[in-house]
Amino acid sequence: GTSTGPDGSFSLQAPENSVLVFSFVGYTRQEVPVAGANANLAVTLAESAQDLNDVVVIGYGTARKSDLTGAVASVSSAQLTQVATSDAVQALQGRVAGVEVTSNSGQPGSGTRIRVRGVGTINNSDPLYVVDGIQTADIGFLLPVDIESTEILKDASATAIYGSRGANGVVIITTKHGKAGQTQFNLFGYTGFQQIRRTLPLTNAAQYATLVTEAYANGGQPLPADYATQLQGAIQNNSAGTDYQSLLTQKGLITNYSLSASGGTEQNRYLVSGSYFQQNGIIKNSGFKKFVIRVNDDIVLTKRIKAGVSATFTNNNQTGSGDGQGNAQPYLALQYALQANPVLNPFGPNGTYVYDNITPNTPNVPRYLEEQQFNKSQNNNLFTSSYLDITLLKGLAFRSTFGINYYNNHPKVFQPQYYLGPVDQRAQSALIETRQENISWVWSNYFNYNKTFADNSNLSFTLGQEAQRGYGNGISITAYNVPADADLQYVSASRSTGNAVRSTQYDGSLLSYFGRANYNFRDRYLLTATLRFDQTSKFLTSVRTALPV
C-alpha cells in the first residue's frame, strides 16, 4: 500500500487486473480496478458522515469512530467472504492498511500469520484475538462466513486496555447472531479450482543430457558407462523426458457450503449453522477438510437483564504434504522435483520405483509423493461463550462474560520401510503419533458508564476485573517396525523395543484489573486514559505483578 502526498498524488506498483482500495476517515471508500499498464487514475472520495457515526467494537465496549483516539480498522462480513478460504485471518489479506497477512506455507489448512505492528517480540509476534468478548490465541475454528464484523486495534491507545498481551495488536471478532423475525434459511456456497500459476522453465531430458555431457568434457572426465548410454539416447531422440513438475501437481478442488437457520422474537433470538469446507492442494496427496457447527441464543430476561450463549464445534482434517515428522513442508516435494534428473524414468516395470544411481541424493519423487497420504493430522475444537448484561441505572451497565476453549490435536505419520538403493532407503518402518489436549477459560466482569452533559460533552468509563487460566498436556510416541497394513498401523503393533516417548505439560493463570476513561468535549477535543494491572503465574510470587508503563 501507499499514502498520497500533500497534493493528493500517489504512485504504486501493482499487477494488472488488481483492485486498488482508496480510503480516508470520514469518506466513503472506493475500489478501483487497474486496467492496463502505466494506468493514470484520478479518484475523488465522497464525504460520509455515517462513517464517523458508525459504532465499532473496542476492548470491553463499543464507541463511535468519531470518538476514538486510537487506530481501529473495521472489516465487514461481505468483505471477508469475497475470498475462497477457510482461514478467517487469510480473508483479511489486503483489507487493512499496515496489516501484513502471509500464509505459513502452501499446504491447505496450514494457517496464516498476521502482523499488525510488525515483529514486536522475539518469540511471538501474533496479535491477541478476542471472539465475542473471549480472548483466545487462535481463530482457526471459525470460517469467514461465520463472522459478522472484525475490528483490528493497531496502536498503543487502542490496545492498552489488554496490557502487554495487546502489544502486537488486537483482533476483535463478532460472530453472527440471530435476528428477530420469522425463521430464515440462508445457503452460502461456492466451488472452484486452484492450480499452479506457472511452472519453472527447466531443461528437458535432451537439454539436460547435453549440458551434463559438456560438463564432463570440460572437466576432462569420462562419462560413466551406464550413464553415457542414457544421455546419448536422450540427445539422439530429442527426448522430453520426465516432467516432474507436472507429475507432482494437480488442479485442486475448493468447495465451501454453509447452511444457517435464524430467527425468533425480540425476547429470544437464535441461530444454528453448519458449514463444510474442502480444499485439495495443488500438490498431489495433500488436502484439507473442515466441518463447523455453530449454535447461539440471545434472551431478554427482563427490561434490564439480557443473556446469551454461543457454542462452536470445529473438526479439521489435514493430509500431506509433510517432512515425515508430522510437520507440513510442501516445499520439500517441490524441491525434490526441481532437483530430479529428467533423463531418468522414475517408474520401473509394473509400477515399481527406480533408483537414480546417477544423482542419488535426490529421492524418487513419485515414491515420496505416495508416502504423503500417510501424513495426517486431525484436531477438534469446542469454543463456548456466554454473557450476562444488566442495566443498573441510566447510563450504567454491568456485563459478565465467560468462555471455555477446548482443543485436541492428533497428528499421525507412518513411514513405510523401503529400499531403492544405498541412499534412497529406510531400514525400518516408523509410526509417529502425537496426542495434545488443551483447555482454557476466561471470565470477565466489568462496568460501563456513559454520560452526556448539557454542554454536549460526553464522559464514559470502563472498570473491570478478569481471570484466565489455561492448562494442557501432550504425548508423542515414535514406534518402529510397525506393519504396513493400514489396519495394523498402531503403536501397540510395533515389533521394536527402541520406541521413543516424549511428553509436555503446562498450567498458567492470569488475574487482571483494568480501567479506561474517555472524554469528548463538543466533538472537538478527545481524551483517553487507560490502565491495566496484571498478575501472572508464569513468574515467581515476588515478581508476578506488573503495571505497564
Cα–Cα distance for residue pair 325/78, rounded to 1 Å: 39
pLDDT of residue 26: 58
The percent of residues above 90 in pLDDT, for the chain, comes to 40
pLDDT of residue 52: 46
Shared domain for 155 and 66, answered yes or no, is: yes
What pairs with residue 393 in β-bridges?
396
pLDDT of residue 55: 67
Q: Is the pLDDT of residue 229 over 90?
A: no
Shared domain for 63 and 48, answered yes or no, is: no
pLDDT in tens, 181-201: 999 999 999 999 998 888 899
Shared domain for 154 and 225, answered yes or no, is: no
Give Cα 12 to chain centroid, integer Å: 28
Cα–Cα distance for residue pair 144/491, rounded to 1 Å: 38
pLDDT of residue 105: 74
Shared domain for 87 and 168, answered yes or no, is: yes
Shared domain for 79 and 131, answered yes or no, is: yes
Place of cell 459478522: 148
pLDDT of residue 312: 97
pLDDT of residue 327: 52
In a domain, 157, yes or no: yes
Please list, in sequence order, all residues whose beta carbon lies within 8 angstroms of the beta carbon of residue 236, skipping any fewer than 6 positions away: none
What's the whole-number average pLDDT of the chain?
A: 86
Its domain, for residue 227, covers 205-240
Give residue 32's identity as a one-letter amino acid code.
V
pLDDT in tens, 95-112: 888 888 887 777 888 878
Sign of CA dihedral 113, 119, 125, 130: negative
Cα–Cα distance for residue pair 445/465, rounded to 1 Å: 5
Q: Is the pLDDT of residue 530 over 70?
A: yes
In a domain, 118, yes or no: yes
In a domain, 20, yes or no: yes
For the domain that residue 99 is a member of, what is the CATH number? 2.170.130.10
Q: What is the mean pLDDT of residues 214-218?
A: 91
Please report which confidence band the pLDDT of residue 300 belongs to, taking 50, 70 and 90 as the band edges.
Answer: very high
**How many C-alpha atoms does 334 have within 13 Å on its Cβ side?**
16
In a domain, 470, yes or no: no
pLDDT of residue 59: 80
DSSP labels for 489-533?
-SGGG---S--EEEEEEEEEEEEEEEEEEEEEETTTEEEEEEEEE
What is the four-CA torsion angle of 236, 237, 240, 244, rounded to 10 degrees? -80
Shared domain for 80 and 170, answered yes or no, is: yes
pLDDT in tens, 108-151: 888 788 888 776 566 677 889 999 999 998 898 999 999 998 98
- Residues 163 and 512: beta-carbon distance below 8 Å: yes
Q: Which of 67-71, 395-399, 484-488 is predicted with the least confidence, judged by mean pLDDT?
A: 67-71
Rg (CA), the chain: 29
Shared domain for 65 and 167, answered yes or no, is: yes
pLDDT of residue 118: 72
- Residues 238 and 206: beta-carbon distance below 8 Å: yes
Comparing 438 with 126, the larger pLDDT belongs to 438
Q: Is the pLDDT of residue 91 over 70?
A: yes
In a domain, 153, yes or no: yes
DSSP code of 322?
A: B
pLDDT of residue 479: 92
Q: Is the pLDDT of residue 324 over 50?
A: no
Shared domain for 151 and 82, answered yes or no, is: yes
How many domains does one find in the chain?
A: 3
In the listed set 20, 35, 53, which residue is the last one of a domain according to the structure? Answer: 53
Q: Is the pLDDT of residue 68 over 50?
A: yes
Shared domain for 127 and 226, answered yes or no, is: no
In a domain, 364, yes or no: no
pLDDT of residue 405: 96
Q: Tell me: cis bond preceding 460? Omega within 30 of 0 counts.
A: no
The kind and range of the H/E element at 226 are helix 225-236
Is 27 strand, coil or helix?
A: strand
In a domain, 320, yes or no: no
pLDDT of residue 106: 74
Cα–Cα distance for residue pair 329/377, rounded to 1 Å: 13
Please report which confidence band the pLDDT of residue 326 belongs to, taking 50, 70 and 90 as the band edges.
Answer: very low
In a domain, 282, yes or no: no
Q: pTM for the full model?
A: 0.83
pLDDT in tens, 330-383: 567 888 888 898 998 899 888 899 988 777 788 899 998 888 888 889 999 999
C-beta neighbour count of 246 within 10 angstroms:
11
Sort strands 458-480 and 500-521 into parallel, antiparallel or unpaired.
Answer: antiparallel
Shared domain for 74 and 106, answered yes or no, is: yes
DSSP labels for 338-370?
HHS-TTS-SB-GGG-B---SSSTTS--HHHHHH
Cα–Cα distance for residue pair 187/259, rounded to 1 Å: 5
Cα–Cα distance for residue pair 364/360, rounded to 1 Å: 9
Cα–Cα distance for residue pair 53/67, rounded to 1 Å: 9
pLDDT of residue 44: 79
Cα–Cα distance for residue pair 321/284, rounded to 1 Å: 8
- Residues 39 and 45: beta-carbon distance below 8 Å: no
Give Cα 288 to chain centroid, integer Å: 13
What pairs with residue 486 in β-bridges?
none
Shared domain for 100 and 44, answered yes or no, is: no
Cα–Cα distance for residue pair 545/539, rounded to 1 Å: 9
What pairs with residue 443 in β-bridges?
402, 467
Phi, psi angle pair for 247, to nearest 5°: -65, -30
pLDDT in tens, 51-63: 445 667 788 887 7
Q: What is the mean pLDDT of residues 215-243?
A: 86
Shared domain for 48 and 63, answered yes or no, is: no
Q: Is the pLDDT of residue 65 over 90?
A: no
Three cell numbers written together for 174? 463478532
Three cell numbers written together for 7? 497534493
